[in-house]
Structure 1
Amino acid sequence: MPRALVHMASLKSLTTSPTSLPSTCLILLARKPTVSHVSQLLVEKRALPIPPVIPAASPSNSTQTKATGTGSTTTLPSSSSVILPTSPSSSTPRSATPQTNLKDATMFWDYLSTHQESIHQVMTLFSDRGTPYSYRHMNGYSGHTHKWTKPDGSFVYTQVHLKTDQGIKTFTGEEAHKMSADNPDWNTQDLFEAIQKGEYPSWTVYVQVLTPEEAEKFRWNIFDLTKVWPQKDVPLRQFGKFTLNKNPENYFAEIEQVAFSPSHLVPGVEPSIDPVLQSRLFSYPDTHRHRLGTNYQQIPVNAPLKAFNPFQRDGAMAINGNYGANPNYPSSYRQLTYKSVKPTVTHEKWSGAAVHELFQEVNDDDFVQAKGLWDVLGRTPGQQENFVTNVSGHLAAAHQDTRTRTYEMFSRVDKALGASIQEKTEKQVK
């Protein structure tokens, strides 16, 4: 069975709703460089629509997790990335059956139980960390491994973490379910009103760094998105702060038309050989061309501040003068000057072998970090119980063979966990 990847993605390119806020979100992808539709759907259910802000009562009885972070959904994360508040028990993906277009718990759990290396993310999703209180009270993570380079061609591998300065707060499944019914736009309202009042949310930004030599000796495959870099092995290094201090003036112009892509990189940052990241460098711009048009980069919210590239021109809705009389090829009559760039030092022999390892069979290592998260949940009263409740309420609707395979998957994390989920699920089977 091909391995799957836990990945961070932009909701803008994933959701079918035209009113989904572009934001970072955790998602399961097939480890092959093509997006699995079934796995996308894990997140789509939790992407809340965002019409204009309408004042509503603030939620009450919110809960706050006490776990401290060690990375993007690793053994000690503070929170998942962006999973929006709906009840975990109602987080059925839009993995609709082709005949009825109805959501199907069997399809959901069939996918996960046959891609068991995704278990760490499943643990995060169905814990209270999967229903954060608001955008302001959650962390963000790069997910993919990138390379940070120097002018001399040397580089290091990196993982970026954004830790909320507002503190981690979450909903329980019951609270999230109620909020999704009472005020499904709560996330947008909370963020908009906080910025409007001058209570600007911020995130302290950290980086984990491994040299190529350290990466070769590291226990975990640095290109494996189902794994994280434990902070005890690769400590966080603070380097900045990220603050949201201005609301959009027009939702459609500045939010609906925005086009994020992992291929939008500044000098000094390069993609790693991570196969899913490599595929996304192409798939995101393709999505934007389909959604916004071939010249989406000329839309003001997406336009670079300074750029001269007469080789990229023409097409529908070209509005920037189309580079006038400049030739569309490297011409001796209009010579261009290129900034000298030294290629990064090659690391391809080891990297190629490391990527090959990603396609191996699921093994016990795929459950180690999930077990660590389960133990961390046990440090806060009620968190393990909430997890079992969230899983069982959804899994009970799946077919028997899929339920059995799922119990076995959770038992590989912790035997008592598998037994607890089985007992509570079977009591709810109709």
Structure 2
Amino acid sequence: MTQHLTAQNGAPIADDQNSLTAGRRGPVGLQDWHLIEKLAHFNRERIPERVVHAKGSGAYGTFTLTQDLSRYTLAEHFNEVGKQTEVVVRFSTVGGEAGSADAERDPRGFAVRFYTKNGNHDIVGNNTPVFFLRDGIKFPDFIHTQKRNPITNLKDPQAMWDFWSLNPEALHQVTILMSDRGIPLNYRHMNGYGSHTFSLWNKQGERFWVKFHFKTQQGVRNLSNAEADTLKGIDPDHAQRDLYGAIEDGQAPKWTLYLQVMPERDADSYGINPFDLTKVWPHSDYPLIEAGVLELNRNPQNYFNEIEQAAFAPSNLVPGVGASPDKMLQARLFAYADAQRYRIGGNYNQLPVNCPHAAQPNHYQRAGAMAGGGCPYHGAQQESGVNYGPNTQQGPEQKPQYAEPPLAVEGNLDRFDRFEEENVEQAGNLYRLMSDTQRQALADTIAATLSQVTAPVQQRMLAQFAGADAEYAERVAQAIEAVRG
């Protein structure tokens, strides 16, 4: 007898694959209690390491603006050429535990915090411009497939490929992950991306959609499967060692920040959904605009205090930078900060690495675990009798001049069909950009694990590959036969 899916209170779930959104492109409605329950429970599944991005490395540095972006944004760190902003950056692998090897085939986290005069601005992205999913309601399920099987406690290729075969939106990112780009040489020799679409707005109230690209000045370099397997045995912490050593030796790694900027009015008529995290914006449509240089030049003095407790969150936004209707981003706006409250505590922003270095915290939030220290860069917050607003006791007041322009939304609040968007075209375009050697390496890497799963899953994946490019499917099928001998 088939069991029906329920929430934790036993209520049947009608749709577990689509968030409740206003119109087909969103935004997501806060009343989607099933989404909130899934994300909130997911954030509490591991103690004490991060649920994802558990193993990481980090350092401090500066961001120097090389082009004034005031025509797009009033964010102060993106105005005035030559301005320097203190930053902290954390790199990571996504799926592995805290003791896993740095050379695993896995996306890499690329999180940047700007300590701006108007608060902390975090860009919490990866080394890839896209992701496996476009809707955050699927994220807990996806990560379960990347972690250990609950019975065997082993990594589970069947779960991984079964999920991907039922979610064709993942094919673009799967193609990147299984390609030569899937194992960066180290953190210095890889790019970083905000991945999501964010918003910028200027003093005139004009909104622009934006994507952030950090291009390494060290050059992109990657590992083959054989090289990675050797490194995992010789030095599982090689990327951490490389980053720390380079900075100590005075070889400060650098990245150039570029932006892709889309006028707000373009979104409705553009050929793809600009808020779909599984898609890129072709540079021919929206060219890269150079913005500045990110440099890492100072190692932490205490790894746990400064990197392990660094609490990045996409919801750390500042005036001039905002979110977008991107469904994955909207889920992360809640999930990341909530995970940090659980992992570190409700007052995690009082820790030195998390408090705003260049801005005075001033709010009505009081009490909670570890309260009272205050931001060490500005001293303890005044503990007056007023912990509410508005008030007549000279408490901090809101600043309406920083309000984001209104976002027009339309459409029915509903859970829209997950197969509405096109899924395979950009994966096919990427495949056709590869050399013959790269295509074969991609097929061989896929076959190494896809050969271990059931025939129905293999057939669903081969159909996806064929939809992207017929040769793609043929190469993978031949590689599977070669593995079987």
Task: Indicate whether the TM-score tops 0.5.
Answer: yes
Q: 1:371 aligns with which of 401, 412, 428?
A: 428
Distance 1:117 1:3 in 2: 13
SS in 2 for 1:280: helix
Shift of 1:188: 0.8
Give the distance between the partners of 1:81 and 1:217, measured in 2 at CA.
Answer: 22
- Residue 3 to residue 106, structure 1, CA distance change in 2 (3 Å): farther
Q: How far apart, in 2, do the equivalents of 1:322 and 1:418 lie?
A: 61
Cα distance between partner residues in 2 of 1:48 and 1:148: 38
Question: How many Å apart are 1:362 and its aligned residue?
Answer: 5.4
5 Å matches for 1:87-236? 94-236=146-288
Name the amino acid aligned to 2:370.
M
Output one character per residue of 1:287-324: Cα deviation in whole Å (capped at 9) or x when no partner.
11111111111111111133343411111111234632
* Aligned residue identity for 2:428: K
Which residue of 454, 461, 466 maps to 1:406? 461
Number of matched pairs: 365
1:33: which partner in 2? none
For residue 365 of structure 2, the aligned residue among 312, 318, 337 is 312
Cα distance in 1 for residues equivalent to 2:184 and 2:256: 18
* Residue pair 1:212, 1:347 contacting (<8 A) in 2 also: no
Q: Aligned residue for 1:340?
A: 400
Deviations 1:171-197 (CA, angstroms, capped at 9, x unpaired): 111111221221111111111111111
State the alpha-carbon separation in 2 of the partners of residues 252 and 188 from structure 1.
Answer: 14
5+ residue gaps, structure 1, are: 5-11, 24-41, 52-58, 60-78, 84-91
Distance 1:426 1:219 in 2: 38
1:3 Cα offset (Å): 7.3
Match of 2:57 in 1: 21
Offset, 1:276: 1.9
Where structure 2 has 5 or more consecutive residues not aligned to the other structure, the ranges are: 1-15, 20-48, 60-92, 104-126, 132-143, 375-379
1:121–1:93 distance in 2 versus 1, CA, 3 Å: same
Q: 1:360 to 1:289 in 2, by over 3 A?
A: closer
**1:31 matched to which residue of 2?**
none
How far does the alpha carbon of each residue in 1:214-266 deviate from its partner, in whole angstroms, 9 at most, with x for none? 12221110110000100011100001111111111111111111100001112
Q: Deviations over 1:271-296 (max 9, x none)?
A: 11212212211111111111111111
Quote the offset at 1:95 in angstroms: 3.8
Is the 2:300–2:306 contact (alpha carbons within 8 Å) kept by the matching residues of 1? yes
Gap change, CA 1:118 and 1:82, over 3 Å in 2: closer
Aligned equivalent of 1:280? 332
Distance 1:411 1:141 in 2: 28
Cα deviation for residue 345 of structure 1 reads 3.6
Other structure's SS at 1:317 match: coil
Post-superposition CA distance 1:149-175 (Å, at most 9, x none): 112322100001111101111111111
Change (3 A) 1:241 1:82: farther
Cα separation, partners in 2 of 1:216 and 1:82, compared to 1, 3 Å: closer
1:420, distance to aligned residue in structure 2 (A): 1.6
CA RMSD in angstroms, aligned pairs only: 2.9
* Mean Cα deviation higher: 329-338 or 232-241: 329-338
In 1, are the aligned partners of 2:170 and 2:278 still within 8 Å (CA)? yes
Cα gap change, 1:16 to 1:337, in 2 (>3 Å): closer
Aligned-pair CA distance for 1:342: 5.6
Post-superposition offset of 1:93: 5.7
**Does the 8 A contact of 2:199 with 2:321 survive in 1?**
yes
The one-letter code of the counterpart of 2:365 is Q
Give the 3 Å change call, closer, same or farther, for CA 166–172 of structure 1 in structure 2.
Answer: same
Instruction: State the 1:112 CA deviation.
Output: 0.5
Secondary structure of 1:135 counterpart = coil
2:95 corresponds, among 40, 44, 52, to 44
TM-aligned CA deviation for residue 105 of structure 1 = 1.1
**Contact 2:319–2:404 at 8 Å: present in 1 too?**
no
1:51-81 per-residue CA deviation (whole Å, 9 max, x = no partner) reads: 9xxxxxxx9xxxxxxxxxxxxxxxxxxx746
Task: Quote the residue 2:110 is aligned against.
Answer: none
Q: What TM-score do you get using the length of structure 1 for normalisation?
A: 0.78
Amino acid at match of 2:409: K
| CA distance 1:228–1:236, change in 2 (3 Å) | same
Q: 2:386 aligns with which of 320, 327, 335?
A: 327
Cα distance in 1 for partners of 2:383, 2:96 equals 46
Structure with greater helix percent: 1
Residues 45 and 362 of structure 1: CA distance in aligned 2, closer, same or farther (over 3 Å): farther
Q: CA deviation at 1:360?
A: 4.1
Residues 346-374 of structure 1: per-residue CA shift (max 9 Å, x gap)? 33236x68x979744156x3211111110
Contact 1:96 1:102 in 2 (8 A): yes
State the 1:15 CA deviation: 3.1
CA distance in 2, matches of 1:344, 1:102: 47
Say if 2:443 is the partner of 1:392.
Answer: no
Question: What is the letter of the counterpart of residue 310 of structure 2?
Answer: V
Structure 2 distance, partners of 1:48, 1:241, is 32
